[in-house]
Structure 1
Amino acid sequence: KLKKLLEVYESRLPRSKYLPGDFISLADLSHFSFMRYFMTTEYADQLDTYPHVKAWWAALLARPSVKKVMVGMPPDFGFGAFLCKEYIIAM
């Protein structure tokens, strides 16, 4: 399931900087906690297989607002982390 999700992201991101378009939106932010948790797992190196997802993630992390929110934020924060755990278990 995790591979499929990353493939969906990868197929969408060549057309725009963010998931729905060229501007950050709630769609990107709703996937943030999922990716934040994913990047703390043993599978994080799989991101190298998805260059557009990797660029999208880097763009999110570079935003001052995201940097501010991440201070003190645990990696398993939010529903996205729960979903990511479920996807990893299904691998």
Structure 2
Amino acid sequence: MVLKIHGHPVAPLVRLVAEVCKEKEIPYEVVNVAVYKGEHKTPAFKQFQPFGQVPYIEDDDFILYEARAICRYLVKQYESQGTLWLVPKDPRSEALFEQAASVEYSNFYPFALGLATEKIIKKHRGLPADEARVNEYLENLNAKLDVYDDILGKQSYLAGQSVTLADLFHLPYAAIVIEELGYPVLENRPNVARWWKAISTRPAWQAVKVSA
């Protein structure tokens, strides 16, 4: 059975899951969910994703939601194929991975998501962006990326010398901030710029960056 990703194919976290499928050479199909019509909030959808968010996956008879949990599952379930060691096995290396993954979730995602919400989601809803909040999100993100630049000045990737899911987790929302919204967050951060180029040019991401 081909793995099914339920969600809109351009949704950022749907594309993240698709990227990991590409990394792990997992055949998949996207089951389109019309999020702009509220289909993800219907009882039929919430039977499988009770919070009414995309994506969730079907892998045979196994249902799983939350994109980062899905990515971890895919890496372990399909361990022997595709890109290896996206989640390290050695306890200390795995701890460093989990540390880096926590950094993404706590110190990058909230601010990048906030910018995407204000500048893109609100526009789709016919609402103006709150520019005070935009400036606050951008100020916070810049401060966090200064720390990223220090970390990445000592190692190639956020968890060490090899790419992990912690790096890949950044892809969809960093692409929105850097490429779609055009914020100059790479300027004067050579280590972040080098890291971004390394992860954003991966063939798996290039295959799904526009649509899963």
Aligned pair 1:62/2:201, yes or no?
A: yes
Aligned pair 1:41/2:188, yes or no?
A: no
Structure 2 residue runs of 5 or longer lacking an equivalent are 1-139
RMSD: 1.6
| 1:42 to partner: Cα distance | 4.1
TM-score in terms of structure 1 length: 0.68
Query: Is the CA contact (8 Å cut-off) linking 2:171 and 2:200 kept in structure 1?
Result: no
Cα distance in 2 for partners of 1:41, 1:14 equals 26
Q: Segments of 4+ in structure 1 off by > 6 A?
A: none
Which secondary structure state, in structure 2, belongs to the residue aligned with residue 49 of structure 1? coil
Which secondary structure state, in structure 2, belongs to the residue aligned with residue 18 of structure 1? coil
Greater C-alpha radius of gyration: 2
Paired residue for 1:20, among 159, 163, 185?
159
Larger strand proportion of the pair: 2
Which secondary structure state, in structure 2, belongs to the residue aligned with residue 15 of structure 1? coil
| 1:69 to partner: Cα distance | 2.2
Structure 1 residue runs of 5 or longer lacking an equivalent are 74-91
Larger helix proportion of the pair: 1
Paired residue total: 72
Cα distance in 2 for partners of 1:54, 1:48 equals 8
Cα distance in 2 for partners of 1:68, 1:42 equals 21
Which secondary structure state, in structure 1, belongs to the residue aligned with residue 153 of structure 2? helix
Indicate the structure whose relative CO is greater, using CA pairs within 8 Å and at least 6 residues apart: 1
